[in-house]
């Protein structure tokens, strides 16, 4: 897709995201997919001149809607009046977090916005930090390239090597990367308007290559992934499924604690199921990657996620502790088996655990006895 064509779709989405209707039951992405036939007639209209792009405040704490639709309440209470509805990828000011009422759920956190309150698990905490662009890339073991982190709520991607390979691209007409995702940048170009674009790919993915606006990415440095207490030998992680927590121990001392989300143990009817459970037991970390593409399951019930960062695999079928950008519901079961962690927590764990990972290539696999032990317990 040419960047100019992507701007047409993006501007159309700005209109869609501003619509406030009571019976809107499709996510933004599904709406666009169902409306794609009409895009051919709209493509001749210079929407970029008629409709402004969404502007985000610099450095202000923001929240990005991660679900198809979220209700804005007059009070931090699910039973209070709905004053507005916001849709997937809408970005709002995050004024403060409060405790409220959400019946039948563990999380009772709500976010106050200028319009009202939104249940916190529906909002990814984000910021909008533009970056200085580079005119050249550093050398790596694979030639020119660098790891980089998204520092804006989202950045649009334009596929550079059709056809799409990744499953997530088959149904997504507006592919994006989100705040805290980490990717590999290996080329720079300047368009006819003087805008700088980075070529983005997943060093460990399906092979799709994209262009994205360069200012959205912060280059990572080797210093920020230096090991934490590397000389300590007796390290262990305990994942408690019952409490949905993770603790890091050095000997008998707990040195780190975080809420997490493990695999879902019950189906929609409350029946126990083993399909997505996080496996119990004691296992060592055997592979770590700065960023990796994750997919699994079957059509309709599976998942396909690009650029999952700070990944520490501890089970042979791909179960890992990793960063999470698609929800903020830590403290409740949410995953298909992995241990979902907040990005900053996953990064700390990545740095603290063994085996240690070098910045280049950002991937290591070890044989038995493996690295730091991860014990998953239920009670």
**Domains of the chain in sequence order:** 3-125 (2.30.30.40), 139-220 (2.30.30), 228-377 (2.40.440.10)
Q: Which residues of the chain have pLDDT under 50?
A: 1-52, 297-301
Q: Which residue has the tokens 């666009």?
A: 32
CB atoms within 10 A of CB 178: 19
Backbone angles phi, psi at 344, to 5 degrees: -70, -30
CA dist., res. 119 & res. 103, Å (int) = 11
Identify any residues that bridge with 112 across adjacent strands, giving them in sequence order.
96, 117
Inter-residue contact 353 to 347 (CB < 8 Å): no
CA dist., res. 351 & res. 359, Å (int) = 11
Query: The sheet that has 253-259: what strands, in order across it?
Result: 253-259, 245-250, 235-240, 373-377, 281-284
DSSP state of 207: -
Element counts in the chain: helices (H) and strands (E):
6, 28
pLDDT at position 54 is 61
CB atoms within 10 A of CB 132: 9
pLDDT at position 51 is 34
DSSP state of 46: -
Going by C-alpha positions, the residue among 306, 65, 296, 64 that lies closest to residue 177 is 306
CB atoms within 10 A of CB 95: 14
């Amino acid at each position: 897709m040419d960047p100019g064509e992507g701007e047409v779709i993006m501007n159309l989405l700005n209109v869609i995201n501003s619509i406030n209707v009571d019976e809107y039951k499709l996510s933004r992405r599904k709406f666009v997919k169902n409306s794609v036939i009409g895009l051919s007639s709209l493509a001749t209209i210079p929407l970029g001149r008629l409709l402004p792009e969404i502007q985000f405040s610099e450095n202000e704490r923001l929240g990005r809607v991660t679900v198809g639709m979220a209700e804005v309440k007059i009070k931090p209470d699910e039973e209070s009046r709905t004053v507005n509805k916001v849709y997937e990828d809408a970005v709002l000011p995050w004024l403060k977090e409060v405790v409220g009422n959400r019946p039948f759920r563990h999380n009772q956190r709500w976010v106050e916005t200028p319009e009202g309150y939104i249940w916190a698990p529906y909002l990814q905490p984000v910021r909008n930090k533009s970056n200085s662009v580079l005119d050249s890339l550093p050398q790596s073991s694979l030639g020119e390239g660098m790891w980089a982190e998204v520092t804006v709520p989202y950045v649009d991607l334009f596929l550079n090597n059709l056809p799409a390979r990744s499953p997530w691209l088959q149904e997504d007409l507006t592919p994006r990367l989100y705040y805290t995702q980490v990717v590999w940048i290996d080329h720079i170009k300047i368009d006819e308007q003087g805008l700088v674009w980075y070529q983005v790919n997943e060093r460990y993915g399906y092979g799709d290559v994209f262009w994205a606006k360069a200012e959205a990415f912060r280059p990572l440095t080797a210093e920020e992934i230096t090991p934490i207490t590397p000389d300590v030998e007796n390290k262990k992680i305990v994942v408690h499924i019952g409490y949905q927590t993770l603790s890091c121990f050095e000997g008998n001392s707990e040195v780190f604690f975080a809420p997490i989300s493990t695999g879902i143990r019950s189906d929609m009817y409350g029946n126990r199921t083993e399909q997505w459970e996080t496996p119990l037991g004691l296992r060592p970390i055997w592979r770590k990657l700065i960023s990796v593409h994750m997919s699994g399951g079957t059509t309709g019930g599976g998942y396909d996620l690009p650029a999952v960062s700070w990944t520490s695999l501890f089970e042979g079928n791909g179960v890992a502790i990793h960063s999470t950008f698609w929800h903020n519901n830590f403290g409740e079961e949410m995953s298909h088996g992995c241990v979902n962690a907040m990005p900053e927590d996953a990064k700390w764990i990545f740095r603290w655990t063994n085996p240690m990972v070098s910045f280049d290539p950002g991937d290591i696999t070890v044989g038995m006895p493996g690295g730091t032990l991860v014990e998953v317990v239920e009670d």
